[in-house]
Structure 1
Amino acid sequence: MELIEKHEEILERRAELLEQMESRREQLKIQRTKQVEKSEAARHRNITLLQDLQKIEDRLRGRQLPRPHLLALETRYWASVEQSVPAWEHFLLGKGPHPTDGPGQPPRRTKQTPSTAKGSGLPPRPKPRTAR
């Protein structure tokens, strides 16, 4: 009798363990399925990102440089600007005549702002009258 009871206990314990193992196997199966889904989503996202980068790279390579005659014009323009800077520098600093004034032309007057008019010896502007 004792052996039969012991045998039944062992069978019950075995059934419980088998149930636990089956439950654990199902959990692992679900985890693997989720992991595969996440992996596929990441792979798809990476492929999309790589394609976008490739498109951007192709667009950057495909941009045409400005035409040679435009590049030449731009280069000559900036060279002339650099050459004329010294002539304009004195005028812009208020230390010399306008660069386009010739020897026979009267010097040009610069526009005066209120801050420059005060120190130039001009009389003060009249104050606005109030209505009586």
Structure 2
Amino acid sequence: MASNPCEEAKLSKKHEEILGKRVELLQKMESQYEQQKVRKKQQSLVSEAAQKRNAQLLQDLQELENRLRTKTLLHPDVINLETRYWASVEENLPAWERYFLGKGHPPVDEVRKSPGHRKQKEKNRALSPPQDKGRPPLPRTKSAM
């Protein structure tokens, strides 16, 4: 195979270019492989951390479940009050139903208001100047002077 020295030089040059590109590609592949290894390691660390966190959350939930199961019972007086409260709510619910549905006013009249509310009104009347309603003013007690 006798060939022309000029052709041999061209082929040799082309061979060198191909070898250079091969080395370049091998280096790129190697760097990508290293990056992939790093990403994989980071991903495994993140996965391990998530597994530990999930295990801790599961353990916390189990502890809460156990605490709820072994919850101390309330004092009988408290249970009695709670039972009476809910019985009162169920008893008065029909009267309040229209109000809750937005179709009426609350079923509370002046007679049913709390004694504290009446006392406050009386105290306000005693402190405010008497209004002329055709009646003489109320006498003041000595303790108020």
Q: What RMSD, in angstroms, separates the aligned Cα atoms of the two structures?
A: 3.6
Regions of 4+ moved over 6 Å: none
What does 1:53-64 correspond to in 2, within 5 Å?
A: 53-63=57-67, 64=70
Give distance in 2, aligned partners of 1:16 and 1:113: 104
1:95 aligns with 2:111: yes
- TM-score, length of structure 1 as denominator length: 0.58
Structure 1 unaligned segments of length 5 or more: list them: 87-91, 100-108, 125-132
1:48 aligns with 2:52: yes
How many residues align? The count is 105
What does 1:3-42 correspond to in 2, within 5 Å?
A: 3-42=7-46
Q: CA deviation at 1:111?
A: 3.0
Aligned to 2:120: 111
- Of structures 1 and 2, the one scoring higher in RCO (CA 8 A, sep 6+) is 1
Give distance in 2, aligned partners of 1:49 and 1:37: 18
Give distance in 2, aligned partners of 1:16 and 1:97: 98
- TM-score, length of structure 2 as denominator length: 0.54
